[in-house]
Amino acid sequence: MISSSLAIARKDLRLAFAGGQGPVQAVLLGLLLVFIFSLSAAPGERFSAQQAMAIFWLCSSFGVVLIFSLLFRFEEENDTATALLLSPLPVQSLWLGKTLAGLMLLLLCQVFFFPAALVFLGLDPGSNPAGLVLMVLAVDVGLCVLGGLIGAMGHGQGAKDALLTIIVFPLQIPILLGGIRIGVGLMQGTPLGGLADWFGLVMAFDAVFAGAALFLFPHVFRGE
């Protein structure tokens, strides 16, 4: 299952970057959000750590919707979804492959979001870069696990983007909250041990939705 998932992820990343596009739409939307929010502060006024972290995760959340809409659109042209379903690969590996590709693309988007938040929102990275990386990875995994499942639900439907938006955002609330609270804690110098509860919430979210996706994906990603 791992090798088929890697084949799917490799193929999706090649398709995403074919024509030199990549996740340009998600990056531009995120940067635009950061810039627009930065205009809401009066000259000389700083955003609080909580506000800056919330805007960072909001950009990532919107990015997830765009990224998974793109990844599942690849399987609509020429009905390659049918060919994949008829192939010997386990259906769950399709979800895992899309989730891995989505995670790579989201991390790439955040490479742009984070410096933008530092410059325009005055985000303070704190003194625990390893903790920040751990937080980003843990929250991103949850966002992408959910994105891979919901993206499959919208596959082949005309109102796919609306469906993604309506379902994804409410479900993301716990993990976004976790991301914001951990981020604020790290910026204020709280040791990782003091953020264990929030990390626990994020990890639990990752595990619950990964389990749900493994079970539900074959039922939502179908050939008809």
Q: Name the residues that contact another protein, by CB under 8 A.
A: 3-4, 7-8, 11, 14-15, 18-19, 74, 77-80, 82-89, 223-224
Least distance from another protein to the Cβ atom of residue 68, Å: 17
Least distance from another protein to the Cβ atom of residue 21, Å: 9
Residue closer to another protein by CB (options 42, 78) is 78
Residue closer to another protein by CB (options 3, 170) is 3
Residue closer to another protein by CB (options 8, 143) is 8
Q: What is the dihedral of CA 187, 193, 197, 198, to 10 degrees?
A: 30
CB distance 101 to 64 below 8 Å: no
Least distance from another protein to the Cβ atom of residue 42, Å: 46
Residue 126, Ramachandran bin (φ over 0: left; ψ between -120 and 50: alpha; else beta): left
Residue closer to another protein by CB (options 23, 30) is 23
Q: What is the dihedral of CA 109, 198, 145, 134, to 10 degrees?
A: 50
Least distance from another protein to the Cβ atom of residue 70, Å: 12
Residue closer to another protein by CB (options 51, 92) is 92
* DSSP states along 83-122: HHHHSSS-HHHHHHHHHHHHHHHHHHHHHHHHHHHHHHS-
Least distance from another protein to the Cβ atom of residue 64, Å: 22
Among 144, 79, 154, residue whose Cα is nearest residue 106: 144
